[in-house]
Amino acid sequence: MDKQGFTNGRLRIATEDDVQTNWGSHGIGRAFRCCLCGHKFKVGDVWRWVYTNSSYLKGVKGNAFICQGCDMSDEAIIQALHVRYEVLMDEEFWWFRMQWGIEE
């Protein structure tokens, strides 16, 4: 991995270490999913990390993992979709967030 690690926003291939990491302190491998479609990454899947944890992106609770199928070159669109889904989760599926331990 290069100096910047996975935060450089480049495409990478999921390794066993990636799959077994406790991303976001949600449990081993539990949160290693595409934030747009929910795909749970397996070893060999292509993924990318996108910075979405900015103060101007109201409603987002963390940065985004994106699968190859949902990836697009325009990070502003990815950020907007991530915000939209996060708000939807808060408003419509709050119980699942509570059960997953992602409540504020």
- Considering the domain boundaries, does residue 34 fall inside one? yes
Give 15-29 pLDDT, tens digit per residue.
999 999 888 777 777
- Considering the domain boundaries, does residue 4 fall inside one? no
- Considering the domain boundaries, does residue 2 fall inside one? no
State the pTM of this model.
0.67
- Considering the domain boundaries, does residue 61 fall inside one? yes
Eight-class DSSP state of 73: S
Retrieve residue 14's tokens.
């999921």
Q: What is the DSSP string of 4-28?
A: TGGGG---EE--HHHHTS-GGGSST
User: What's the domain count of the chain?
Assistant: 1
Which residues are CB-contacts of 60 (< 8 A; sequence separation ≥ 6)? 52, 53, 54, 79, 82, 83, 86
Span of 19-33, 45-59, 66-80 with lowest mean pLDDT: 45-59
What confidence score (pLDDT) does residue 20 get?
Answer: 92
Domain of residue 58 covers: 9-100
- Considering the domain boundaries, does residue 55 fall inside one? yes
